[in-house]
Amino acid sequence: MKGYKLMMASLLKYQDENGMWHQLIDDPQSWPETSCTGMFTFAFITGVKNGWLDEATYGPAARRAWLGLIGYIDEKNDIREVCEGTNKKNDRRYYLDRKRITGDMHGQAPVLWSATALIREPDAKASASASK
Segment 76-111, tens digit of pLDDT: 999 999 998 877 888 898 888 889 999 888 899 999
Strands (E), 5-129: 21-22, 32-33, 82-83, 100-101
**pLDDT on residue 86:** 77
Q: Is the pLDDT of residue 8 over 70?
A: yes
Q: Please report, rounded to a whole number, the percentage of residues in the chain having pLDDT higher than 90.
A: 74
Burial class (CB in 10 A: 0-12, 13-18, 19+), 123: middle
**Number of C-beta neighbours around residue 4 at 10 A:** 13
- Length of the chain counted residue by residue: 132
Residues 6+ apart with CB under 8 A from 100: 31, 80, 81, 82, 83, 84
